[in-house]
């Protein structure tokens, strides 16, 4: 089975927004407990597929910080961790030009590589990153994302492992930012409109 087919579809909830964040957050999309539950099963699936394989995990900065920490501690095969910095400049909620802000440190030729990102949107980032890594000659190359917004795709790209399939909304929290803020929210949610219209 294509692992992405097991992605859990989610919709906005009417759960109360936790008090410290209620001023800026409009609604909860994925509560903290549901994130943990899904990441546990995703990690079990990845661990079964990669059993015994020495693997390089390539995490993209900075949105993966929470997902990566929770996923990584549940992976049960030998691995090394490296980071790549990729930003789509432009700011706001629309992606612009891709810029690499940090390159890989580890060699990946002949290695199994699993790329981890926070969210698959237009697909531009992961298309570029996987093309770049493929040139380095890995033994295998797969991708894992916490969130997938398939409606936004501008070209063909599917991740091999997907946590949740979400509607076409700009989401923040659990590592994801708006203007570098909101990464600390323990859940995934959507912001109130005033956040986008008021000067920082
Ligand atoms: P793509 O290149 O697939 O269009 O977008 C991937 C990158 O755009 C993600 O790694 C993430 O940084 C950013 N992005 C896309 N959609 C969202 C979203 O809904 N919320 C946030 N915070 N970032 C997003
Ligand atoms: Mg990102």
The domain ranges of the chain are: 8-197
Q: Which residues are catalytic?
A: 121
pLDDT for the residue 198 = 86
92 — pLDDT class (breaks 50, 70, 90): low
Helix (H, G, I), strand (E, B) or coil at 38: helix
Ligand 1 binding residues, C-beta < 6 A: 63, 88, 95, 117-125, 170-172, 176-178
Rounded distance between C-alpha atoms, residue 165 and residue 120, angstroms: 10
> Could you tell me if 70 and 174 are in contact, meaning their C-beta atoms sit under 8 angstroms apart?
no
Q: The whole model's pTM is what? A: 0.95
Query: Cα 60 to chain center, whole Å?
Result: 8
Place of tokens 């957050």: 25
Nearest CA to ligand 1 atom 17: 170
- Whether residue 1 has pLDDT greater than 60: no
pLDDT in tens, 167-190: 999 999 999 999 999 999 999 999
pLDDT in tens, 36-45: 999 999 999 9
Q: Domain 8-197 - what CATH class?
A: alpha beta
- Whether residue 193 has pLDDT greater than 80: yes
Question: Which range is least confidently modeled, 1-10, 40-49, 128-137, 148-157?
Answer: 1-10
pLDDT for the residue 90 = 61
């Amino acid at each position: 089975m294509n692992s992405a087919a097991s992605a859990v579809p989610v919709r906005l909830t009417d759960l109360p927004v936790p008090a410290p964040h209620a001023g800026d957050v409009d609604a909860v999309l994925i509560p903290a407990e549901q994130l943990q539950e899904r990441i546990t099963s995703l990690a079990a699936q990845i661990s079964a597929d990669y059993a015994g394989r020495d693997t390089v995990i390539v995490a993209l900065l900075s949105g993966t910080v929470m997902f990566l920490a929770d996923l990584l501690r549940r992976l049960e095969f030998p691995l090394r961790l490296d980071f790549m910095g990729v930003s789509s400049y432009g700011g706001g909620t629309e992606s612009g030009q891709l810029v690499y802000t940090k390159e890989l440190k580890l060699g990946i030729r002949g290695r199994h590589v699993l790329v981890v990102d926070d969210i698959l949107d237009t697909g531009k980032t992961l298309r570029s990153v996987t093309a770049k890594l493929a040139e380095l000659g890995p033994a295998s190359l797969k991708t894992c994302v916490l969130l997938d917004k398939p409606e936004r795709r501008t070209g063909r790209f599917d991740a091999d492992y997907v946590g949740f399939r979400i509607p076409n909304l700009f989401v923040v929290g659990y590592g994801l930012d708006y203007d570098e803020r909101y990464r600390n929210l323990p859940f995934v949610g959507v912001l109130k409109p005033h956040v986008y219209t008021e000067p920082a």
